[in-house]
C-alpha cells in the first residue's frame, strides 16, 4: 500500500525514480510525486491520479541533472486523493522532502504540538506532520540522521520512509517499521524501495531491511543502523534470481489475463521437486523439523482467506488435522486461546499484509509454531514465520489475485498429502490413495493448457449477455463454497457489480428473498457427492425466476439458463478447473464494462496498513 523509492547514483535520478514508480504502481495509484534537487532548490512535483498524470507534468519540466531523488505512488489513508495530499511532503522551511508508506498513529498530538510552535500544514496527511517533526528535531540534533531517528522514535505506527535534504543533495535516508522496504546495492548507485521490481533493472543485490532499521546512503556508500541506538545493523546482501519477465504483459491485453494463463506453469513449478519417483509421497523438507499439528489455525485475508477455506477440506479429509480458518483482521482482536502445541498457518501472497503479520506475531507470542505460505521471497511474513513454504507463482502484478490463489491451493493440497504421508495410519490416506491424488495433480497443467482458451471464449460470450446485471449470487457447497466466495469477490472488485458468495444451503435462511429475474446466480455444481443438494438449491432459485449459470461436468443432469461444462477432474481438485472460469468471467465483465482491470478503483495490491 503506497510505493516508495529512493535513488542516489550516477544516472539522471528522475527517470530512474519514475520508472521505479511504474513498477510500484500496483501498490496504489491515487496520486504520485517525486522530489529532487534543481540547482539550490528542493523541487517537488506531484499529481493526483495515476502516474501518467505525473509524467505529463514532468514532461513540462526543464531536464534535470539531479542524481538523487525520491518518489511515491499513493493509496490514500489520511486525506482524500488530491495533489495537496500527494507525496513527497516538504518541511515548512523547504529543506526536507519525505515519502512515506504507512500510518503515524499519534500524528494528531504531534501536529497539535508543532502547530503551537508555528508550523503550518497544507495537507491532511500524517506524513507532512512527520517531516516537520524531523525539521523541528533537526534544530537540536547534530545531523539529519539523528533528527530522523529521534522523530521516528516519537512517532508510533507503521512506516517505510525515504527522506532527502536540500543541504546534502547526494544522500538519501530511509527507515522501516512494519512496512516493507528493500535496499538495492548497485555499482556506483544505491536504491531503496517498497518492492524489488522498482530497481531490478539496475541491480539484483538486495538487503531486506528489518523493522527498526535506518539507512543513510549515497551513490557509493551506505550504512544500515538500528533506529534505537544508531549502532550498525548486520545484514548480508542477497541475490535475486527471478527476472523482469514477470513485470511485462508479454502480448496479453492485461496483466490479469496473463496471470490467469500462467496457471498451468504455476502448478508445474509448484510440483517440481515435491514428488518422489514412486508418486506416492510429497516432499516438503521445509517442514521436517515441525510436528504434525494437533490443531491448525489458518489465518489470511481476501483471496488468500478463500484459499485457506478451500484447503481446510483437504487438510481435514486427507490428513485428519483439525483446522480453524479465520480472517486475520478478526483473529488479531480476539482472545484466540492458542496452545503451545497449536500451529498457525499464515497465507499471504505478498507476505506483507498488516493484519496477517499481526496475527503471526500474536501466535508467536503465545509460543505457537507459525508456518508461512507466501509468494514473495524475503517478505516480512516469510522472515518472521518459524518455517516458510514458497508458492513460487512468480510476481503477481494485477491487483486482483489469480495465479497466487492457484499456487496456494496447490501447496495446501501438497501439505495435506505430506501430513497424511507422515501420519501413515489408516485414518489418513493410504499410499495408493495418495498416488491417485498426486497423479491427478500432475495432469492439471496440461488439462488447463488445453482448456483455458475455450474457457476464455465462453467467459467473453457470457459477459456480453450478463453485463447489465447489477447483482449476482455465487453458490457452492463443501469445497465449492470457498470458490463461490472467490468468484463473488473477483466480480465485485473488478467490475463493481454487487456479488455475494453463499453456501448454497444457506440461501433458504434469508438471501433467497433477493432472487428475481434480474438477479442471476452462478452455481458451482461439479460432479461430486453434494451435486444432488446443489441441484435442489438451483431448482429453488429457478422457482423464483432466478437465472442460473451452472458450472458442471459433462453428463450431469441439470437444467439451467447457461450450462458451462468444465473438464472432469475428481473433487475436490476440480477446484483447479473452476477457479480460472470464475477469474475469466470477472475479467471479461470488467473489460467489457470498460473498467480498469489491472488497477481497480480504491484498491491496492499489498495491504500494509490495517
Please state the closest distance from residue 489 (CB atom) to ligand F6R, in A: 6
Q: 489 or 589, CB closer to ligand F6R?
A: 489
Return the closest-CA partner of residue 193 out of 99, 126, 130, 88.
99
CB nearer to ligand F6R: give 128 or 355.
355
Exposure string for 529-557, b = 16+ CB within 10 A, e = fewer:
ebbeebbebbeebbeeebbbbbbbbeeee
**What CA–CA distance (Å, rounded) separates 567 from 577?**
7
Half-sphere exposure of 260 (CA within 13 A, CB side): 28
**Region of 26-34, 141-149, 346-354, 531-539 interacting with ligand F6R (CB under 6 A):** 346-354
Q: How far is the CB of 403 from ligand F6R (least distance, A)?
A: 11
For residue 599, state whether it binds ligand F6R (rule: CB under 6 A).
no
- Nearest approach, Cβ of residue 534 and ligand F6R (Å): 25
Binding-site member from 348, 583, 586, 608 for ligand F6R (CB under 6 A): 348
Closer residue to ligand F6R (CB): 353 or 463: 353
Nearest to ligand F6R of 66, 382 (CB atom): 382
For residue 266, state whether it binds ligand F6R (rule: CB under 6 A): no
372 lies in the site for ligand F6R, by CB under 6 A:
no
Residues classed as catalytic: 2, 605
Binding of ligand F6R at residue 134 (CB under 6 A)?
no
For residue 355, the surrounding DSSP H or E stretch is helix 354-365
Residue placing its CB nearer to ligand F6R in the complex, 135 or 405: 405
Query: Which sign, positive or negative, has the C-alpha torsion 271, 274, 279, 282?
Result: negative
Q: Which helix (H) or strand (E) holds 569?
A: none
**Whole-number Cα distances in Å, 450 to 168, 263, 574, 579:** 59, 12, 15, 15
CB of 357 to ligand F6R, least distance (A): 9
219 binds ligand F6R (CB under 6 A): no
Q: How many residues bind ligand F6R (CB under 6 A)?
A: 14
Considering the complex, state which of residue 216 and residue 379 has its C-beta at the smaller distance from ligand F6R: 379
Alpha carbon 590 to chain centroid, angstroms: 20
Q: Which three cell numbers stand for residue 290?
A: 515441525
Neighbours of 334 (CB within 10 A): 9
CB 91 within 8 A of CB 81: no
Least distance from ligand F6R to the Cβ atom of residue 609, Å: 12
* Residue range at the interface with ligand F6R (CB under 6 A); choices 87-95, 142-150, 211-219, 302-310: 302-310
Q: Which stretch binds ligand F6R (CB under 6 A): 95-103, 132-140, 185-193, 350-358?
A: 350-358
Nearer to ligand F6R, 390 or 437 (CB): 390
Question: Is 537 a binder of ligand F6R (CB under 6 A)?
Answer: no
Could you give the CA distance from residue 172 to residue 128 in angstroms, rounded to a whole number?
18
Q: How many CA atoms lie within 13 A of 579 on its CB side?
A: 29
C-alpha closest to that of 64 among 25, 106, 104, 12 = 12
Number of Cβ atoms within 10 Å of the Cβ of 145:
19
What is the closest distance, in whole angstroms, from the C-beta atom of residue 605 to ligand F6R in the complex? 7
Rg from Cα positions in the chain: 25
Q: Which of 135, 455, 589, 607 binds ligand F6R (CB under 6 A)?
A: 607
Please, are residues 237 and 205 in contact by the beta-carbon 8 Å criterion? Answer: yes
* Closer by beta carbon to ligand F6R, 219 or else 349: 349
Q: Is 493 in the site for ligand F6R (CB under 6 A)?
A: yes
Is the distance from CB of 441 to CB of 534 less than 8 angstroms?
no
* Binding positions for ligand F6R, 386-415, rule CB under 6 A: 400-401
Residues 203, 219, 353, 537: which binds ligand F6R (CB under 6 A)? 353
Kindly state whether residue 302 participates in binding ligand F6R, applying the rule CB under 6 A.
Answer: yes
Q: Shortest gap between Cβ of 304 and ligand F6R (angstroms)?
A: 4
Which residues contact ligand F6R (rule: CB under 6 A)? 301-304, 348-350, 353, 356, 400-401, 489, 493, 607
Amino acid at each position: 500500500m503506497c510505493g516508495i523509492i529512493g535513488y542516489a547514483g550516477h544516472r539522471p535520478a528522475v527517470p530512474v525514480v519514475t520508472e521505479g514508480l511504474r513498477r510500484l504502481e500496483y501498490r496504489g495509484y491515487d496520486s504520485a510525486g517525486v522530489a529532487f534537487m534543481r540547482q539550490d532548490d528542493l523541487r517537488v512535483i506531484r499529481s493526483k491520479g495515476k502516474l501518467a498524470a505525473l509524467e505529463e507534468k514532468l514532461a513540462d519540466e526543464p531536464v534535470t541533472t539531479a542524481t538523487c531523488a525520491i518518489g511515491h505512488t499513493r493509496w490514500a489513508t489520511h486525506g482524500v486523493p488530491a495533489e495537496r495530499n500527494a507525496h513527497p511532503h516538504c518541511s515548512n522551511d523547504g529543506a526536507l522532502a519525505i515519502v512515506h508508506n504507512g500510518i503515524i498513529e499519534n500524528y494528531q498530538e504531534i501536529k497539535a504540538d508543532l502547530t503551537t510552535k508555528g508550523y503550518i500544514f497544507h495537507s491532511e496527511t500524517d506524513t507532512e506532520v512527520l517531516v516537520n517533526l524531523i525539521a523541528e528535531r533537526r534544530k537540536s540534533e547534530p545531523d539529519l540522521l539523528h533528527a530522523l531517528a529521534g522523530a521516528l522514535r516519537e512517532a508510533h505506527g507503521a512506516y517505510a520512509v525515504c527522506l532527502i535534504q536540500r543541504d546534502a543533495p547526494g544522500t538519501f535516508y530511509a527507515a522501516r517499521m512494519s512496512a516493507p522496504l528493500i535496499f538495492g546495492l548497485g555499482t556506483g548507485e544505491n536504491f531503496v524501495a517498497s518492492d524489488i521490481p522498482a530497481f531490478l533493472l539496475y541491480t539484483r543485490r538486495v538487503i531486506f531491511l528489518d523493522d527498526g532499521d535506518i539507512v543513510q546512503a549515497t551513490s557509493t556508500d551506505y550504512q544500515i543502523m538500528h533506529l534505537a541506538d544508531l549502532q550498525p545493523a548486520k545484514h548480508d546482501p542477497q541475490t535475486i534470481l527471478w527476472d523482469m519477465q514477470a513485470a511485462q504483459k508479454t502480448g496479453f491485453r492485461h496483466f490479469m489475463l496473463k496471470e490467469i494463463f500462467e496457471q498451468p506453469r504455476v502448478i508445474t513449478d509448484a510440483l517440481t521437486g515435491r514428488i518422489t519417483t514412486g508418486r506416492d509421497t510429497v516432499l516438503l523438507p521445509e517442514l521436517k523439523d515441525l510436528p504434525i499439528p494437533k490443531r491448525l489455525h489458518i489465518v489470511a485475508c481476501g483471496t488468500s482467506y478463500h484459499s485457506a477455506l478451500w484447503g481446510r477440506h483437504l487438510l481435514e479429509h486427507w490428513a485428519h488435522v483439525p483446522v480453524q480458518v479465520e480472517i486475520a483482521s478478526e483473529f488479531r482482536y480476539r482472545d484466540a486461546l492458542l496452545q503451545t502445541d497449536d500451529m498457525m498457518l499464515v497465507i499471504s501472497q505478498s507476505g506483507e499484509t498488516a493484519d496477517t503479520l499481526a496475527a503471526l506475531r500474536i501466535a508467536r507470542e503465545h509460543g505457537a509454531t507459525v508456518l508461512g505460505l507466501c509468494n514473495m521471497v524475503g517478505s516480512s511474513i516469510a522472515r518472521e514465520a518459524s518455517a516458510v513454504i514458497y508458492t513460487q507463482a512468480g510476481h503477481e502484478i494485477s491487483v486482483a489475485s489469480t495465479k497466487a490463489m492457484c499456487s496456494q491451493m496447490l501447496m495446501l493440497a501438497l501439505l495435506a498429502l505430506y501430513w497424511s504421508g507422515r501420519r501413515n495410519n489408516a485414518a489418513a490416506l493410504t499410499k495408493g490413495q495418495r498416488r491417485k491424488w498426486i497423479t491427478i495433480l500432475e495432469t492439471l497443467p496440461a488439462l488447463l493448457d488445453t482448456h483455458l482458451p475455450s474457457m476464455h471464449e465462453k467467459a467473453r460470450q457470457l459477459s456480453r449477455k450478463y453485463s447489465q446485471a447489477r447483482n449476482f449470487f455465487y453458490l457452492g457447497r463443501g469445497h465449492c463454497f470457498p470458490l463461490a466466495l472467490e468468484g463473488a469477490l473477483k466480480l465485485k472488485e473488478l467490475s463493481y457489480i454487487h456479488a455475494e458468495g453463499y453456501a448454497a444451503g444457506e440461501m433458504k435462511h434469508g438471501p433467497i428473498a433477493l432472487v428475481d429475474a434480474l438477479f442471476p446466480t452462478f452455481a458451482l455444481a461439479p460432479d461430486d457427492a453434494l451435486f444432488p443438494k446443489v441441484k435442489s438449491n438451483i431448482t429453488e432459485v429457478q422457482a423464483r425466476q432466478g437465472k442460473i449459470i451452472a458450472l458442471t461436468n459433462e453428463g450431469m443432469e441439470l437444467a439451467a439458463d447457461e450450462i458451462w461444462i468444465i473438464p472432469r477432474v475428481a473433487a475436490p481438485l476440480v477446484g483447479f478447473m473452476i477457479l480460472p472460469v470464475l477469474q475469466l468471467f470477472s475479467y471479461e465483465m470488467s473489460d467489457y464494462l470498460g473498467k480498469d482491470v489491472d488497477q481497480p478503483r480504491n484498491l491496492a495490491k499489498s495491504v500494509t496498513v490495517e
